[in-house]
């Protein structure tokens, strides 16, 4: 299991449909990917979960990935959330 804490940038300016696109990024990987903030934990592959989580600019999010491609998943999720 690997994790990385990131601060979300303005994803709504960088992406047309950030919620759906974030789920698409997560679904590219076999690893389980969870986003955490405060006491909330959601499955990054769940569009309803991401909608409820609502990652917004300035929010600190801990990305947790567990599986065969967890490092690649962390990098891809971080790139999306910080718009790099």
pLDDT tens column, 17-40: 889 999 999 999 999 999 999 999
pTM above 0.95, yes or no: no
Domain boundaries, the chain: 2-82
Task: Enumerate the active-site residues.
Answer: 15
Q: Choose the CATH number for 2-82 among 3.40.720.10, 3.40.640.10, 3.30.1340.10, 3.10.450.50.
A: 3.30.1340.10
Long-range contacts of 32-41 (CB under 8 A, 24+ apart): 32/65, 32/66, 32/67, 33/63, 33/64, 33/65, 33/73, 33/77, 34/63, 34/64, 34/65, 35/61, 35/62, 35/63, 35/64, 35/77, 36/61, 36/62, 36/63, 36/64, 37/61, 37/62
Average pLDDT of the segment spanning 48-57:
91
């Amino acid at each position: 299991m690997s994790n990385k804490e990131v601060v979300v940038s303005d994803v709504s300016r960088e992406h047309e449909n950030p919620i759906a696109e974030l789920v698409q990024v997560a679904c590219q990987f076999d690893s389980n990917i969870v986003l955490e903030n405060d006491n909330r934990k959601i499955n990054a592959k769940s569009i309803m979960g991401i909608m409820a989580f609502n990652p917004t600019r300035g929010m600190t999010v801990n990305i947790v990935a567990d599986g065969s491609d967890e490092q690649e998943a962390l990098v891809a999720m971080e790139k999306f959330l910080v718009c790099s």
